[in-house]
């Protein structure tokens, strides 16, 4: 019965958003959506998501006008040097950000990707640059997280990792059982991507028949290079973004609009 209710809820969401956005998206996009939809019926699919899909759930982006905290930019706080200099200040920011993410809800774009994975359990890979966990909350699983997970902590002394979903946190900065200071288990500016996750993402891009780039600026490397890897390996590329991106030249179809409107229509 719960599965039936979930399906009815899903189709209700899709139907409502389809009706709401038909008047907002032109016929040219309609035909591109239909062509892109046909391409998803067979083969390996990779969805590559960036901050734009989370911004639709009101998670602030690094580059947006809402991406500032007090008098600091995220770029000045999301570094190992900033953490070493003032771990309490850096953790104040992440505690604030975790609170915003905790209050956010997955949007129809996240739900559409979950449904796409359900329909293609062996032929779908979800790769994300996002650290917020909204894909999992929407029901996606086995997500390839290139930039880590804000809900995991890593000890700077012993390296032990653990999950922590306290909002707000009890103590800043949080401490490991060994007494060491914990940091967010995410990739900061100047740090390498996790090797295993990156290798999974590259291999998926090479094997893809279709890569859907959703809400990514295509500016942050090496992650943004996945679009080129997929294209050079013969994949069709679909760009879903309200604004132009440097990856547009690689795309077979460019679907201008929010992920929450476009992705449900691809189903």
Annotated catalytic sites, by residue? 147
Question: What would the two tokens of residue 127 be?
Answer: 């790769």
112-to-23, 88, 103, 118, 191 alpha-carbon distances in Å: 20, 38, 20, 10, 32
**Bridge partners, residue 214, by sequence:** 49, 240
Which is it for the CA torsion 244, 246, 249, 251, positive or negative? negative
Say how far apart CA 145 and CA 150 lie, in whole Å.
11
Angle at 209 between CA 186 and CA 112, to 5 degrees: 60
The SS3 of residue 242 is coil
Residues 143 and 126: beta-carbon distance below 8 Å: yes
Say how far apart CA 167 and CA 164 lie, in whole Å.
9
Q: What's the gap between Cα 116 and its chain centre? A: 15
Task: Give the residue among 175, 166, 103, 107 at the shortest CA–CA distance from 135.
Answer: 107
Question: What would the two tokens of residue 150 be?
Answer: 């804000």
């Amino acid at each position: 019965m719960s599965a039936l209710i979930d399906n009815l809820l899903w189709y209700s969401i899709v139907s409502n958003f389809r009706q709401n956005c038909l008047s907002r998206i032109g016929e040219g996009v309609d035909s591109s959506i239909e062509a892109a939809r046909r391409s998803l019926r067979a083969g390996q699919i990779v969805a590559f998501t960036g901050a734009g899909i989370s911004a639709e759930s009101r998670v602030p982006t690094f580059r947006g006008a809402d991406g500032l905290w007090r008098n600091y930019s995220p770029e000045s706080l999301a570094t190992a040097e900033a953490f070493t200099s003032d771990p309490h200040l850096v953790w104040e920011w992440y505690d604030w950000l975790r609170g915003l993410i905790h209050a956010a809800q997955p949007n129809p774009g996240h739900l559409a990707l979950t449904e796409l994975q359900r329909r293609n359990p062996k032929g779908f890979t979800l790769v994300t640059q996002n650290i917020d966990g909204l894909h999992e909350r929407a029901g996606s699983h086995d997500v390839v997280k290139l930039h880590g997970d804000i809900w995991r902590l890593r000890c700077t002394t012993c390296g032990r990792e653990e999950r922590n979903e306290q909002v707000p946190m009890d103590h800043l900065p949080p401490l490991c059982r060994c007494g060491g200071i914990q940091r967010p288990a995410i990739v900061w500016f100047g740090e390498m991507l996790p090797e295993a996750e990156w290798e999974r993402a590259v291999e998926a891009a090479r094997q893809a028949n279709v890569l859907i780039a959703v809400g990514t600026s295509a500016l942050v490397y090496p992650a943004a290079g996945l679009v080129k890897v997929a294209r050079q390996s013969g994949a069709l590329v679909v760009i879903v973004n309200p604004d132009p991106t440097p990856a547009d030249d690689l795309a077979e179809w460019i679907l201008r609009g929010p992920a929450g409107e476009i992705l449900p229509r691809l189903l």
